[in-house]
Amino acid sequence: MVESKNGNGRKRVDENRRTTIKILALAAMLSAVDVTVMDRDVFKSMLKKVGLNDILGEESKFSHPEYGTSLEARARRKEEELKRLCMDAAEIICEDKGEGSTECSLAREKCSKIHVKATPPQKGKKYAMALDVDKCIGCRRCEYACVMENNTPWNMGMDWITVLEVSREGVAELQDAKKDYISAPKPGKVYVPVACQHCEDPPCVHVCPVVATWKDEDGIVLIDYDRCIGCKYCVVACPYGARRFNLVKPKLEPVKLNPNMHIHGNIIRPVHVVEKCTWCVQRTRDGGVPACVEACPVGARVFGDLNDPESPIRQVIDEYGVFVLKPETGTKPKFFYFFGGAQTPRRGEEGGE
């Protein structure tokens, strides 16, 4: 279709694409996740190996137009609002535990330290993450660290990382994998963490009718919670089941609060919005790494800048090669899986768990 002078042609193309993605997403929801995982060699056959030229071949297509003074002002207003709500909750704790209690002091200290940033993407950065399937022991410390870092209440089932336990032998569909296992690692099992893939061409972005989600220049897919209308189109469109719809109003708990926040990341979210992994934007845009990477006890996760030849992520790509999940979707994920070669010893190899 040729674009008309007034842009109506472009709008029709965009609308047609959104409609198509919505239809495909609804069909995908009915069939759920159909990727299979089994032993290492067969798992590899179900993935697609991607090269550096494929990974770096495209520039970011989407960006948020609001970075600058207006977003900084929003961040300041949100910071004042959260400090006020936090102090109110802290006063309840102090009345219950006593003014001299540790809980009272800690609650007030956390509230006073709340800082909401609006840090924009750094020029020239393009982030990616990779996970060594041979090393992951299924301990879920990445999941726990994510919850604590991103102010996500446990009782809401809103954790942004899901660790799946599947058999190394035979064929096991991810939709049949165990998410509620109690102990790990186990003999004959492989553990596959799944979260937002921060796709190069994210379908969630295409279907959002209010531009509440987008992919930034540094490759991080984010959500503007003030724009989100809770339509859940993005939840349905995501091939990886990585988005969560907030059905219950989050409870602000001062003692457990992480006061280091980003307006598009780990602020206390309102009810009835969608949320997901942001690669800890409050950390990474200040030069740090996501909490899941820092917390992994076996070093199974790697994070870095694809544009930096010396970064850890580039070293993994060069040394081992990387694979993507569900390549048939055409989303070009920036969350990679690789096989480091030296398996972490499995607890209970001799028989017991």
pTM of the entire structure?
0.80
Single-letter residue type at 194: V
pLDDT for residue 353 is more than 50: no
pLDDT for residue 196 is more than 50: yes
What mean pLDDT comes out for the span 73-86? Answer: 96
pLDDT of residue 195: 96
Query: How far is Cα 210 from Cα 20, in angstroms, rounded to an integer?
Result: 17
Residues 200-241 pLDDT 10s: 999 999 999 999 999 999 999 999 999 999 999 999 999 999
**Alpha carbon of residue 16 to chain centroid:** 28
pLDDT for residue 79 is more than 90: yes
Residues 93-137 pLDDT 10s: 999 999 999 999 999 999 999 999 999 999 999 999 999 999 999
**Alpha carbon of residue 24 to chain centroid:** 22
Q: How confident is the model at residue 1 (pLDDT cuts 50, 70, 90)?
A: very low
pLDDT: which is higher, 336 or 34: 336
pLDDT for residue 47 is more than 60: yes
| Beta-strand runs (E) in the chain | 36-37, 48-50, 115-117, 127-132, 162-167, 172-173, 189-194, 213-215, 221-223, 244-245, 260-262, 274-275, 301-305, 322-324, 335-338
Q: How confident is the model at residue 46 (pLDDT cuts 50, 70, 90)?
A: low
List, in order, residues 6 or more apart from 123 with CB less than 8 Å away.
217
User: Is the CB of residue 75 less than 8 Å from the CB of residue 117?
Assistant: yes
pLDDT: which is higher, 297 or 38: 297
What mean pLDDT comes out for the span 32-43? Answer: 44
Domain 38-65+127-338, architecture per CATH: 2-Layer Sandwich (3.30)
pLDDT: which is higher, 180 or 14: 180
**Alpha carbon of residue 122 to chain centroid:** 19
What mean pLDDT comes out for the span 87-98? Answer: 96
pLDDT for residue 49 is more than 90: no
pLDDT of residue 14: 52
pLDDT: which is higher, 54 or 46: 54
CB neighbours of residue 295 within 10 Å: 18
pLDDT: which is higher, 6 or 243: 243
- Which sign does the torsion angle of CA 316, 223, 282, 191 carry? negative
**If you search the block for the tokens 């296992």, which residue do you land on?**
181
CA triplet 225, 207, 5: central angle to 5 degrees? 110
pLDDT of residue 287: 95
Out of 28-42, 128-142, 168-182, the most confident range is 128-142
pLDDT for residue 140 is more than 90: yes
Q: How confident is the model at residue 248 (pLDDT cuts 50, 70, 90)?
A: confident
Which of the residue ranges 168-177, 248-257, 343-352 would you say has the lowest mean pLDDT? 343-352
What average pLDDT does the structure give for the chain? 83
Query: How far is Cα 291 from Cα 279, in angstroms, rounded to an integer?
Result: 8
User: Is the CB of residue 184 less than 8 Å from the CB of residue 6?
Assistant: no
